[in-house]
Structure 1
Amino acid sequence: SPIVRARQGVGVPATMLAAGRASLEALTQAAVADAARWASGVQAVATTRTVATWYEPAPYCQRCAVLIGKRVKPTTQFVRHPRCDGMVRIMSERDREELPTVTPEQVTDLNRWQRAALDEGADFNQVVNANTAPRGGRLGGSPLRERGTQTLVGARGKVRLTPKGIYRQAGDDREKAVELLRQYGYLR
């Protein structure tokens, strides 16, 4: 509690009060955020033709970029990472359709291989999700993503190269890179 925090503080009374105040502010911010989330959930349930949608102002990290505009349950709680401004917003279907499309330029943490694959027309979600190794996924004793590979969905036991692995294998040969991007499902 803020009172306990202030009383257990060390130093002059002003420092102790500042510690209590900081604790009270943090608790208040959390309570207001929780109340807003619950109110949004009630609004979504009570109002027809509205949907709960994941939203965040640009710029984005990879983890959030793939969620923008996704329809979610009104009471969905996301585990946010540091400095994440993402939230669930209640919108009409029309407003949801008018959300801006995420562009690679808005994503701050793409590596050069991911950007190269996107420049060739690769699917954004495929490229971003390729860097997520399956739980416990290993190849030759090291995690799959460290080797530039991933298990290909729907293909038991087959390994899928990540954009990094593709560009390393292709070297400076653009045609080979495009062929590999197509082979591994990044291009259609």
Structure 2
Amino acid sequence: MSVEQVARAHYRQRRRLVDALAAVARLLWVRVDPDDIARSWTGLLAELVPLTNAAQLAAARSADGYLDEVLDAQRVDPAREGRLVPAGVAGVASDGRPLASLLYEPAVGALVAIRDGATVERALAGGYAALDTMVRTQVADAGRVADQTALVTRRRATGYVRMVVGRTCGRCVVLAGRHYGWNTGFDRHPHCDCIHVPAADDTADDVRTNPRAWFDSLSAVEQDKQFTKAGAEAIRLGADISQVVNARRGAFGLAPAGARITADEARMLRGGRERGRLEAVDVYGRQLYVTSEGVTPRGQAGIRLGARESGEKRDGGRYRSARPPRLMPESILAIAGSNRNEAVRLLRRFGYIT
């Protein structure tokens, strides 16, 4: 298969996971008791959390195979220095906290809306919109992080090309076809469908990674819808797409993968507050994203971080966690900078590759 065919097949596989989980989340949300939102949603989370974890795990498991196939299609040696540990990027929310904590937020949002005067019906509709965004984002981001982690271990791949698929938005189109370094974060927005195409050099001549070629592939009606009539006409007359998008709509809504959540999502999860719990923490003098997931003596990362040494049970039978914080993959790349050896070492130390 060609590079494009491999990438599109990878996208379709991930998209099926995302859509299937979103459908389950919808079925669960309609079972929320309007008279007891908090308690009923807590019970339903017992079904949703493990399914979300499983979808993340499935998305991550395809990363190594995808990297091998897409690099082979480019005649790039896919030899790797480590194998991805799919469980390392699953079972945790985008900001590092447990999935259950994140997925409970739609109920909180609905209750806050009711308190502020919204009808129960409208509040529940808002809660569902938030939930749909959350579950889709968690699976898509777990897959993207898995792809980039697997990319780090393959030295022949110097980076990746951002490839747009489907009916994308102007914010993503202006980034299409760009070649990013192996340690550069992936900017995205809620429901973003763009994917990594690991490569040794830029492949922007593909219609789906070339902004102008993608624009020209649309009908005039579609162009007007995506860029507004005036903006589309300006592009047709020769204006630069990036300038039109940035001037009229900006790149608003895009956030680097180092945060794995957009500013809009963060405010939504905080109940509209500008500041709150979703902030990086100070780790040895740097603001980084960490997670408490997988750091017990039974977890891959926990063993490597020393949890085995203090693995006796606490009162109530729960294992102690490792003392050092577990860095998220994006934070590891931020620390490593351009040092690929250090990135591989840290990914292995924190249990993301073996």
TM (norm. structure 2) is 0.29
Q: Which residue of 2 aligns with 1:130?
A: 247
Q: Which residue of 1 aligns with 2:297?
A: none
Match of 1:55 among 152, 163, 167: 163
The answer to which of 119-128 and 49-58 deviates more is 49-58
Match of 1:120 among 237, 255, 258: 237
Q: Which residue of 2 aligns with 1:10?
A: 40
Q: Which residue of 2 aligns with 1:46?
A: 154
- Aligned-partner Cα distance in 1 for 2:51–2:185: 22
Q: Which residue of 2 aligns with 1:37?
A: 145
Deviation at 1:89, TM superposition (A): 2.4
Q: Larger % of helix: which?
A: 2
- Whichever residue aligns with residue 85 of structure 1, its letter is D
Q: How does 1:19-168 map to 2 (within 5 A)?
A: 19-30=45-56, 32=60, 33-34=141-142, 37-44=145-152, 46-48=154-156, 50-93=158-201, 96-100=203-207, 101-102=210-211, 103-104=214-215, 105=218, 108-132=225-249
Distance 1:35 1:84, change over 3 A: closer
- Aligned-partner Cα distance in 2 for 1:113–1:35: 37
* Per-residue Cα deviation, 1:39-80 (whole angstroms, up to 9, x for no partner): 544435523254312122132201100111112233433453
Where 1:10 maps in the other structure, the secondary structure is helix
CA contact (8 A) 2:144 2:195 kept: no
Q: Larger % of strand: which?
A: 1
Deviation at 1:35, TM superposition (A): 6.2
Larger Rg: 1
CA contact (8 A) 1:40 1:89 kept: no
Where 1:90 maps in the other structure, the secondary structure is strand
Q: Which runs of 5+ in 2 are unaligned?
A: 1-37, 61-140, 251-354
* Per-residue Cα deviation, 1:154-186 (whole angstroms, up to 9, x for no partner): xxxxxxxxxxxxxxxxxxxxxxxxxxxxxxxxx
Where 1:130 maps in the other structure, the secondary structure is helix
- Aligned-partner Cα distance in 1 for 2:168–2:40: 40
- Whichever residue aligns with residue 244 of structure 2, its letter is V
Deviation at 1:34, TM superposition (A): 3.2
CA contact (8 A) 1:53 1:90 kept: yes
- Aligned-partner Cα distance in 1 for 2:170–2:248: 10
Q: How big is the alpha-carbon RMSD for the aligned residues of Structure 1 and Structure 2? A: 3.5
Q: Which runs of 5+ in 1 are unaligned?
A: 1-7, 134-188
- Whichever residue aligns with residue 52 of structure 2, its letter is A
- Which structure ranks higher in relative contact order (CA pairs < 8 Å, sequence separation ≥ 6)? 2
Where 2:243 maps in the other structure, the secondary structure is helix
* Per-residue Cα deviation, 1:119-173 (whole angstroms, up to 9, x for no partner): 212122221121257xxxxxxxxxxxxxxxxxxxxxxxxxxxxxxxxxxxxxxxx
Where 1:46 maps in the other structure, the secondary structure is coil
- Aligned-partner Cα distance in 2 for 1:28–1:9: 24
Distance 1:121 1:97, change over 3 A: closer
User: Kindly, what percent of the aligned residue pairs are identical?
Assistant: 20
Where 2:227 maps in the other structure, the secondary structure is coil
CA contact (8 A) 2:148 2:182 kept: yes
**Number of residue pairs the alignment of both structures matches:** 123
Q: Which residue of 1 aligns with 2:290?
A: none
